[in-house]
Structure formats: C-alpha cells, structure tokens
Amino acid sequence: MTYSIVAANADHTQFGVAVASKFLAAGAVAPAARAGVGALATQAWANTGYKASGLAMLSGGATAQETVDALTKHDERREVRQLGVVDAHGRSATYTGTACTDWAGGVAGDGYTIQGNVLAGSRVVALMEEAWLGSDPREPLARRLLAALTAGDTAGGDSRGRQCASIYVVGDEGTYGGDDVVVDLRVDDHADPVTELARLLGIHEMMFGKPDPKELMDLEGPLAAEVRSLLGQRGHIAGDVSSAELDRVLAVWAGIENLEARLVPGSLDPVVLAHLRRTGGGGVAA
C-alpha cells in the first residue's frame, strides 16, 4: 500500500525518506532517520518498532543488511513486512516479505533503496530508480527524493489510488537550530498528494534556504526605491528613509513572512524580492 525511497546524499551528510501511499498519513508511520546514522522505511504491514531498533543498530555500527536481517529474523510477521535501510556509509538493503500484496518488491544500490507494495506494477520501482540515478547528485537531497517519488506517482504508484505523501530529511546542519531535521513535510490526505508535496517543498526552500552570495543585489538606487514603495503600499514604511532604516523595516516585514534566514543587511536576495512583489504582507506567514 506504499512506495518509498530511502537515500543518502553524495557525501553522506544527509539521509532521508520519501513515501507515498493510499493510506492516511503514511509519513507518520514509515520513515525514520538520524544524522550521521542512516535512514529506514517500514511499510506494508509496517512494524513501527523497526524504527527505534533499526536506528539503534545503525548507530552501533551495524550495516544496512545486518540491520534488515536482525529486524526481520525474530519478527513472526516478517512475511507481511517491507523494509528499506541505508546506513551511515551509504550501504543499502531492501526486504519484501513473501506475503506482501502484489505487486511488491524493491531494488537497492549505492546510497539508496526503493521498495513498494500493492503497486500498479514493477514499473513504479523501476522508474523511481531511473529518476533517482538521473538526478544531479549536487541537488538537495529533498529535491532528488521528490523526483523519484514523482516518477513513481506518474507510473501509477499505489494501485488503489492516491492519498498521502511525505519527505523527511536529516543532516549535519538542521533547519531549525540544534535539530538535525532539514525537511519534514507531510501531505496526509489529498487528492494529488505528490503535487501538493512539491508545492510545500517550494515554500520550505523559500523560507529556509540560504541566499546565494553570487545572486545578492545591492539595496540601493532604483531597487531600494522599489522596496520602499512596496513596503509603503503595505503600511510598513513611509517616504524616503536611510539605508539602515530600510534594512530594519525590511527585517520587520521578513519576520512576518518567515524569511529572516534570507536577509543580508545592505543587500537583497532575489527570492525575497520576488515574494515581496508577489504577496507583500500576506501569503505564507504562519
């Protein structure tokens, strides 16, 4: 009832899982990951106990295959389980019990494992693997996971239909400060969950992405005038102000929009400018 990809980025500083299913909130059930340790997905008749136990084994130095073998060996219902694991070194292993509902199966390669059950056919997993291998290793891991998930969805995905999709990525540097979570997005119940997940990832990247120093624009001249005007239209500023005051008022607006991570005093990130032009004081603030 689920298809997933478990993977690491090229330098093994991030690990993640992307899942889609005709099942409510599978993203709350299937994935587990820890920075510096690895990631796994438990599905079919998911055994959520695999998550804590699996991460503990990986943390203790077990390989992906050793973890899969140990978790399934003493599980009396292992024949209805499905499991994918990637360890800290990018080694991978996938397991599909003999009693999982057709089509069920998986593939594993360097730094990734893909598996699914109750699928439209083997083509779902094959095209997910093709999309993963065809993606640019320099891209963010979340984007590569989404590409694979999208390929599976396009190929028919869960044979029963669509309901949920999720991406969970951890890394050496998390998004929220002191946490290893880089991306944690879930679409729990939606008619087109993978497309909605892509939209949410775009918002996440806008809010939490870091500005590219090569793309920063000096906040002066006509650009500063435009920013003053846009902020003024939304009641944040009035008339001509100093550069320091413009930075301050822009920061107030950016705080409302959750764009603080993209601010650089005296400069402007094109992403911030685009959002200011598009939505001003409204939009995605939470």
Contact 105, 141 (CB under 8 A): no
Contacts of 245 (CB under 8 A, 6+ apart): 237
Structural domains in the chain plus CATH codes? 2-208 (3.60.20.10), 213-278 (no CATH)
- As a whole number, the mean pLDDT across the chain is 94
Q: Phi-psi bin for 13: left (phi > 0), alpha (psi -120 to 50), beta? A: alpha
Give the Cα separation of 123 and 103 in Å (integer): 10
C-alpha to C-alpha distance for 218 and 264, rounded to whole angstroms: 10
135, 10 contact by CB (below 8 A): no
Distance CA 226, CA 231 (A): 9
Could you read off the pLDDT of 171-229 as tens digits, one per residue? 998 877 678 999 999 999 999 999 999 999 999 999 999 899 999 999 999 999 999 99
> What is the full DSSP assignment across 179-235?
--EEEEEEE-S-SSHHHHHHHHHHHHHHHHPPPPGGG-EES-HHHHHHHHHHHHHTT
| CA–CA dist 239, 125 (Å, integer) | 58
**Average of pLDDT values for 82-101?**
98
Select from 92, 131, 130 the least CA-distant residue to 111: 92
pTM of the model: 0.91
Q: What is the pLDDT of residues 237-251, one digit of tens each?
A: 766 788 889 999 999
Note the pLDDT tens digit of each residue in 10-35: 999 999 999 999 999 999 999 999 99
